[in-house]
Structure 1
Amino acid sequence: MASASVFLIGENASNIKLPHSEASDAIETQRDRPIVLLVDDEQLIVDTLAEILEGAGFFVLAAYDGWTALEKVARCRPEYLLSDVLMPKMNGVELAIAIRKMYPSTRITLFSGQAGISDILLDGKRQGFEFELIAKPIHPLKLVEHLKGKRTDLS
C-alpha cells in the first residue's frame, strides 16, 4: 500500500507530520461495520455515545482531543467523523479540515452546545470547507438514525 503524509500548519498547530499507514489488525477485523471517529473533550459524552453507536452496529474510534483523533485516523479511514466544535488545542473545524484533506469521502458532522461558534465555522468556510452542525444535547437515537440515513451501503 502506498503511503502518504499530511502536514498540519495552523494557528493552533505546530508543523507535524502524521504518517498514513495500513489499518491495525483490530480495525481491519471490523470492515463490515462502518467506522465512526467520535471526538469530544468531555469524556462522558464520548463514552456514552460510543456505547450507543457500538450497540447500533458501528465500530467507534473514540478520542478526547483533536490530536489523538488524528493519530487514530493515520491507521484507518473513518466513514464518519462526529466531533465537538469547541475543544482545547485543536477545535473541531480544524480537525474536520485535516480529515477532509486526508479522506475526502469521510462524512463529517460537527456538534456544539455553545452559541458563539459562528466565527470558528466561518474560518472553515473561508478555507472552502462547510460542515454539517447539530446542537447539543444530542439525542442518541436520532444520531443513530442520522448516521444510518447517510449510509449508502446498509445491506
Structure 2
Amino acid sequence: MVNNAYGVTIFCDDLRTESTGKHIYIGVYEDGMVVEENFPITLPTFIFAIRLLEPIKEKGRSVNIKVIFDKDGDESVIIDSDLPDDRWNVLDRPDFDKGSEFIGSVFIVKVSPLVIDSEGYLRVRAFRGDQVVKLGSMSIKSRSRLGFTEARA
C-alpha cells in the first residue's frame, strides 16, 4: 500500500474545459517532445496538468510545486508555486468518500508563451517538507540529433 504522496503530470499543448468540468487535453506528449526546427523555439501555450494525491492523515501539510528545466544537470525553475490550503476543504463535502485514505487535487498550469532554448527535460516536483514527490518528466530532443532525416507520416 502506498503511504506517501504521489501523482502524475500530463504535458500538452492546450486544454479545454467543458461545462460539466471535464477536461479535453489537446496535443498530449507521451514519449517526449521532438523538435523539428532549431532552438530556441516558442510554443504559444503549454499546459502542465498536475494531479497530486496526498494522504489524508497528513492534512494541512504545505506543498510547493516546481517545474524545472534540466539541461545536462543545469536546472532552472520555470514555475514555483505554493498550493492553496483550501484543497483540503474537499474533506468537508458530503459527497467525499469517507473511506478514502487520499485526497486528489488537480492543478492546471498554463504557460503562454513557453520558450525552450535547448534540449533537456521538463521535470515537475512537489515539495512537502523534506519529501520530494516526482510528478512527471518530459524529454525535449532535436529530431536531427535523434537521427531522423525526414518527417514521419
The structure that has the greater radius of gyration is 2
Name whichever structure is richer in strand by fraction: 2
Name whichever structure is richer in helix by fraction: 1
* Greater RCO (Cα-Cα under 8 Å, separation 6 or more): 2
**Same-fold call, TM > 0.5?**
no
Normalising by structure 1, we get a TM-score of 0.22
